[in-house]
Amino acid sequence: MTDSGLIVRRSVRFEISLPARMRVAAHHADALSFAKGVCDEDRWIDVNIIDFAAGGLGFIAEVFVPRQVDLEIQIPSQEGPDKQIYLSCQIRVQRVQMTDRRPGYKIGGEFINQTPEVESQIEMMLHRLSSECDHQGESHA
């Protein structure tokens, strides 16, 4: 039997819409940087998370990021004036697709360099998403 090349997901993926921010990981910053008008003084760029799973996440950005680049991602709480960070992690870009609705790119990446703290944050995010879907009677992809 031959390999069909079909990618099979190993975990449940939640389709979501959450504001977040990303920046190129420090060890790749020399290879990829953005103009000052694109990012803030700390190199952060606003993005929108569109899917989340145990193995990684997807987001939409207005900038192109090549495959195999490592990024830092932060997802802040949407509640309260002092928004805590729900998740602060690194991903490695695995897929990039230009969107057709607006200038932007769908970017997907796998979690890398996971510390116990990051693993805990991912588990908490999955628990929140699962609870929200169950509470709202929605299914996840």
Average pLDDT, the chain: 85
Per-residue pLDDT for 51 more than 60? Answer: yes
Q: What digits encode the pLDDT tens for the residues 53-110?
A: 999 999 999 999 999 999 999 999 877 667 788 899 999 999 999 998 778 999 999 9
Per-residue pLDDT for 9 more than 80? Answer: no
The amino acid that residue 50 corresponds to is I
Identify the pLDDT of residue 4: 56
DSSP 65-114: --TT-EEEEEEE-SSSSS--EEEEEEEEEEEEEE-SSSS-EEEEEEEES-
Chain CA centroid to CA 28, Å: 17
Least confident of 5-14, 39-48, 89-98: 5-14
Domain coordinates in residue numbering, the chain: 13-136
Identify the pLDDT of residue 132: 74
CATH topology of domain 13-136: Thrombin, subunit H (2.40.10)
Per-residue pLDDT for 135 more than 70? Answer: no
Identify the pLDDT of residue 133: 65
User: With contact defined as beta carbons under 8 Å apart, do 132 and 125 qualify?
Assistant: no
